[in-house]
Amino acid sequence: MSQRTSSGRSKGGTPATSLLDTAGVRYTLHSYQHDAKIPSFGTEASSKLGVPAERVFKTLMAAVTGSNGTFLVAAMVPVSESLDLKLLAAAMAAKKAELADPQLAQRRTGYVLGGISPLGSKLANPVVLDESALNLATLYFSAGRRGLEIELAPALLVELCQATVAPIGRKS
């Protein structure tokens, strides 16, 4: 595992780290060797970085349908929890929510599954962050590549993403 604190240009960066660098935001970048045989990317990050699963957040793309049609939302919940689609729909004042088609999620964000970040997507998506994040000094989330995590204060993430904070997670 390697770790780097940055407030300048990251070498080998991703759109997510480039966004942070351009904004002059201080963050810590953590990397680990991703094992393609491990099916749960978030659990792998938690384990390999030695960070409690409640501090590592997964970014799931969901299709939310409301009165203005269907749109994609980046929903962030701790890897120790599942995304509650009914709560996500309620947070977005929508009728329903369902997980987005994986291929659509990858095309829309420009990231691969297991590396989707709420920052630096090809096309802008609303972000909904589970309210549990606000109880943390910092949280971890994908930097846009498997095996690469950003550690950042939740308030900064909310500000950068203009995120909605709501109870969208449920114990697995």
> Please, which residues have CB within 8 angstroms of residue 152's CB and are 6 or more apart in sequence?
20, 25, 27, 28, 138, 139, 141
Residue 84, pLDDT > 90, answer yes
Confidence of residue 7 (pLDDT cuts 50, 70, 90): very low
pLDDT tens, position by position, 125-159: 999 999 999 999 999 999 999 999 999 999 999 99
For domain 2-171, the CATH class is alpha beta
Token pair of 141, please?
Answer: 């989330």
pLDDT of residue 9 exceeding 50, the answer is no
Categorize the per-residue pLDDT at 122 as very low, low, confident or very high, splitting at 50, 70 and 90: very high
> Residue 22 half-sphere exposure, CB side, CA atoms within 13 Å?
10
CB within 8 Å of 22: residues ≥ 6 apart = none
What is this structure's pTM?
0.92
